[in-house]
Structures are given as structure tokens and as C-alpha cells.
Amino acid sequence: MFSRGSKAPAVIALVASVLGLIFASSSTLDYAAHLDRRLHNVHCSFIPGASADPKAEACRAAMYSPYSALLKDQYWGGIPISLFGLGAFCFFAAFALYLLLAGEKTSRRTLGFFALLGTTPLLVSLLMLTISITQLGQICKTCAGIYISSALLAFGAVTAWLSARGDASRPSISFALVPAWLVGLGVTALAPAVVYAASAPDQRPYITQCGEIKQAKIKGDSPVKIRGARAVQPTMLFEDPLCPTCKAFHDRLVAENIIEKLDIELVLFPLDNECNWMLDSALHPGACIVSKAVLCGEGNARQVLEWAYDQQEYLTRAGKAGENTLRAAIKQRWGESLLRCVDDKKTDVRLNNHLHFASENNIPVSTPQMYLGKRRVCDEDTDLGLRFTLSQLAPEVLK
């Protein structure tokens, strides 16, 4: 593709490495910023260095997912995998610069090594891309930036090697340099992660600071019971079936297999002023009706809840279109008898009892909320810090 001795492949590899470095930095910066337990905008753009975006749902979903970091039980939020990318791209940028400056003095063995290792970020990227598509159902732009950079790097590295094949004029080098380079790559790839792990603030004093529930039982009623297959931890959840954050939280509990260890009492807390007097307007129109469907699910409550989460976009549109559209969707999936239950005044009273339970406990008007026993799990500990918090407050859940 490129003529023998062309510097284009090295330039491509250098540019790709710098781009990868920038995207990995943005991703790491977002992660590190959240260590202060506050909400921050997230970088989510194909433009390297673009400012953080408040509506970066795909990137936020990727960040909160179980695949974004390692050692989540040991470190709050875990060690983001972007840190390894950050270090590795430093190595590849420096190596590409060397290839660019050395030109035809570069040995074929050196180019072979670079071609071999230069494809590893692409392999990791392909793995992460597959996870994004199959598990998260969306691709974050910053992650895509890293994937594209990795592909470019692999292209530059391989074409550099291909363009030097058969060039007998190139010098040869000792095999001893190969392990040295590998050590260099290992050190650069690990260094940011080691520093991050060593300097990340201790979150333990904060995870128990979000209070307790005052009244543990609903007066005159019962919550929805969702008992996992190996339930060991009594847990109370306040959820709204049309709340996207609740869906993401539920998906995390399922993906990390945590839900099977929880003995859940689900309290429905729809953020819809049709039934919830605590709101002036509906955040999630139709959530009252869908909540009643969950209540009517009884033994199948988890299935109804998960159906609502799976169909959340459609149900949200239906909720905005009007009550009848929503009722038709419920009838189509769950049949006439469940819809009759939804329309029963007793179900209104049950949902009202759930809302009164929330008001008697003066919980924050937000969803989702998780209580381990009586202790409230802070909002920030239900997303990035979920596994770490569980490892501290309910370690048996992670066993």
C-alpha cells in the first residue's frame, strides 16, 4: 500500500496513538471526576477534547456498566480500563515517534514487534465494541473514538511492517530488546492504573452517611416481593417502572448477578402526578398505570417490572399518547384480567399506600432508591460504587 521506506505508516500510528491518548484521557477524567461522589457532565464526542456533555447517556451508561472497570469490589468504582489504554497509547505514541525518526534504519524485527503489539488495542476494542452492542445496546462516542484510534494504530503498525518486508538493507537488532520493550509497555500501561488505585480517595466513611428508613413496614399493605434464587440480603427498593435510571440500575443488578442474592421488597414510587401528589407535573407520564400493573403482577411482579423496563421507550411514548394506549399495551401483553386488576379501586389504594409509605418515611423524591436492611444506599453508591458499597455493607451478596 505504501512505498518501501514511506513514513506514512509511522505518521498514521503516531496520530492514532495521540488520538487514542486524548480519548482515553477524557474517559479517565470523567471517571476520576466522579470520585467526589457528585454528578458531572461526561465527555461524549468524536471530537477529541470536546467539552463534557450533560446529555451523554450512552457514555454514562458505559461508565456505569460492569464492563468499564476492574476490581470494583476492592476500589470504589473500580480501576477504569481506560487507564490501561491511556498508558498503552503513551507507549505506542513514543514507539511510533521512534519509527518516524528512525525511518529506514528501523529493523524488520522492530517493525514486526510493533505490528504484533500495535494490533492488541484493536483486539481489546473489538471485544469492548461487542460488549457495547450486545450487552449495553449502545456505543458511547468517546469509546468509539478509542476503537477508531486503535484501528488506525493497527493499520499504521501493520502497514509499516508490510512495507519493510523483504527489505534486506535494514539493520538487524538483538532479540534482547523485545523483552525490554514488553517491560516498557507493561510499565507504561500499568503506571496510570497503579497511581489511580493508590491516590483514589477512601469512600468508606461516606457510604453510610445517607440515613436509614424510619418505618420499615407499609401500614395496612405489603410491598411487592421479589426474592432472588439465592437471596441472602433483605433489601427495599423504591422504583418507578418508567424511570430510565431505575431501568439502568435494575440492568446492573441483573448483569452483575446481584439480584439473585437480594430478598427485595419493592415499593412503587411513580414520578407521575396522576397519582403522586408530591409532583407538580409528570416526569414519567403513565408511570402510575404501569406501577399498578406491577402491583397486579403479584407472583409475576418481577416479570411485569422487567417487561416495563424492556419496553420502557414504547411505554413512555404510550404514556404521553394517553391512558388508553398504555392500557392497550398492558392488555396485549398481560391480558384482560391483569387490566381489570389495574382498574380496580383496591389497586389504586395499594399504590396510594406505597406512596404514603414513602411520605411517612420522608424519603427523597427520586428513583431508584435502595435500602440494605434499614440503611439507605447513597445514590452515587447505586451506580459507580455499587459493588464496592455492597462489598462493605453486604459482602455476602457478592460471594
Q: At its nearest, how many Å lie between another protein and the CB of residue 320?
A: 22
Q: What CA–CA distances, in Å, run from 223 to 92, 220, 322?
A: 56, 10, 27
Contact between 87 and another protein by CB under 8 A: the answer reads yes
The identity of residue 160, as a single letter, is A
HSE (CB half, 13 Å, CA atoms) of 56?
A: 24
| 185-214 binders of another protein (CB under 8 A) | 187-188, 191-192, 195-196, 199-201, 206
Would you give the DSSP letter of residue 59?
A: H
Contact between 363 and another protein by CB under 8 A: the answer reads yes
Phi, psi of 142 (to 5 degrees): -65, -40
Question: At which residue does the C-alpha cell 404510550 appear?
Answer: 318
Q: At its nearest, how many Å lie between another protein and the CB of residue 144?
A: 21
Q: What is the DSSP secondary-structure string of 54-75?
A: TT-HHHHHHHHSTTSEE-TTTS
Q: At its nearest, how many Å lie between another protein and the CB of residue 153?
A: 15
Q: Which of 51, 166, 209, 219 binds another protein (CB under 8 A)?
A: 219
Element (H, E) at 79: strand 79-80
Q: At its nearest, how many Å lie between another protein and the CB of residue 232?
A: 29
Question: At which residue does the C-alpha cell 478509542 appear?
Answer: 146
* CA-based end-to-end distance of the chain: 53
Nearer to another protein, 335 or 364 (CB): 364
Nearer to another protein, 122 or 363 (CB): 363
Rounded Cα distance between 75 and 32, Å, is 12
String of contacts with another protein for each residue 19-38, x by CB under 8 A:
--x---x--xx--xxxxxxx
Contact between 184 and another protein by CB under 8 A: the answer reads yes
The identity of residue 165, as a single letter, is R
Element (H, E) at 266: strand 262-268
Q: At its nearest, how many Å lie between another protein and the CB of residue 31?
A: 9
Contact stretch for another protein (CB under 8 A) within 209-217, 228-236, 291-299, 359-367: 359-367
Strands 69-70 and 79-80: antiparallel
Q: At its nearest, how many Å lie between another protein and the CB of residue 220?
A: 5
Sheet holding 375-377, edge to edge: 224-227, 262-268, 233-239, 369-372, 375-377
Q: At its nearest, how many Å lie between another protein and the CB of residue 323?
A: 17
HSE (CB half, 13 Å, CA atoms) of 255?
A: 19
Nearer to another protein, 77 or 228 (CB): 77
Would you give the DSSP letter of residue 284?
A: S
Nearer to another protein, 65 or 367 (CB): 367
Rounded Cα distance between 356 and 160, Å, is 69
Contact stretch for another protein (CB under 8 A) within 157-165, 272-280, 287-295, 321-329: 272-280
The count of residues interacting with another protein (CB under 8 A) is: 57
Contact between 352 and another protein by CB under 8 A: the answer reads yes
Binding site for another protein (CB under 8 A): 21, 25, 28-29, 32-39, 83, 86-87, 90-91, 93-95, 97-98, 101-103, 105, 184, 187-188, 191-192, 195-196, 199-201, 206, 219-220, 269, 275, 277-278, 345, 348-349, 352, 355-356, 358-359, 361-366
